[in-house]
Structure 1
C-alpha cells in the first residue's frame, strides 16, 4: 500500500460506515466547502461544516452530490475498467486490492481519483466510498460488470 493509500484509509473506513444518501450529502458538502476554502482539498478527511444557511437545504446538497458522482464515475470507470494500455498498471493494482478488502479497494480508488483524474482528496475519498458501496464484489471482473450496468447516461 502506498503512502497516499495509507493516508486515505482512515477516511474511507469512516465513509464506508455511511449509507449512499449520507455519502451524496457528504460529497455535496465537501464540494461546496472546497469552493470556499481550497485548503481542504488535500485532506481525505477534512472538517466541513454542515450549516444549512451557508450550504443550502440538505435535499439540494444530496442532489448536487449525486450529480458530481455521476460525472466522475464515468471517468473513473473508463480509467479502472477500460482497456487502455496506459491504464494497465492501475488496473493491475486494483485487481490486487480485491484480494484484500473493501477498505483497500476504496483507498486505492481514492488515490487513483486524485493522481489520475485530478479530483481533490477531500472529494475523491467520498466518490471512492460510493463506488465501493454500490459495486464492490469479491472479484475485479464482477466489480466492473456491476459498475458498467449502473453507469449514468453520458
Structure 2
C-alpha cells in the first residue's frame, strides 16, 4: 500500500490484489495439490472395502491392541453409533472396540463338523517326550532359558578375560 508495495501481514486480501505472477503460481500449486489428493484417493480406494456390520449376539474374535494377535473370543452385546461395539468375553469382561478390531467367528459345537471344506491336519512328527513323561513343556522351556543364561555368562566372562 505504502510505496506501492503489498502488505506482509495476516490481513485478509482478495486474490486479485496480488501480483499476476503470484496468482499464476498459486493456480499451479492448487492444481498440484488437487492432483496429489486425487492420486491419494485412488491409491487408498484400491484396497479399501466396507466392513460388514455385526448384529447383537454375533460371535467375534477381538484383536489385542498391543500384540495385534487375534486371540480373545467374545459376543456382541451392544452396537454403538460410530462402528463401535461392546463385546463380552467368556470371563464376563466388557470391551468397547471399533469394527476394525473385530472379526466374525463361527463357533464350532462339539459333535458338529465345521462348515466348509474339510482340512486334513499335517502328519505330526514323533514326539521326543510322549504325553505323561516326567518333563513337561514348562520344564523344557525353563531348561532352555537356563542354558541361554549360562551361555551369556560364558560370553561375558570370556570378554572380560580378553
TM-score, structure 1 normalization: 0.19
Highest Rg: 1 or 2? 2
Q: Bigger relative contact order, structure 1 or 2, given CA contacts below 8 A and separation 6+?
A: 1
Could you say which structure has the higher strand fraction?
A: 2
TM-score, structure 2 normalization: 0.18
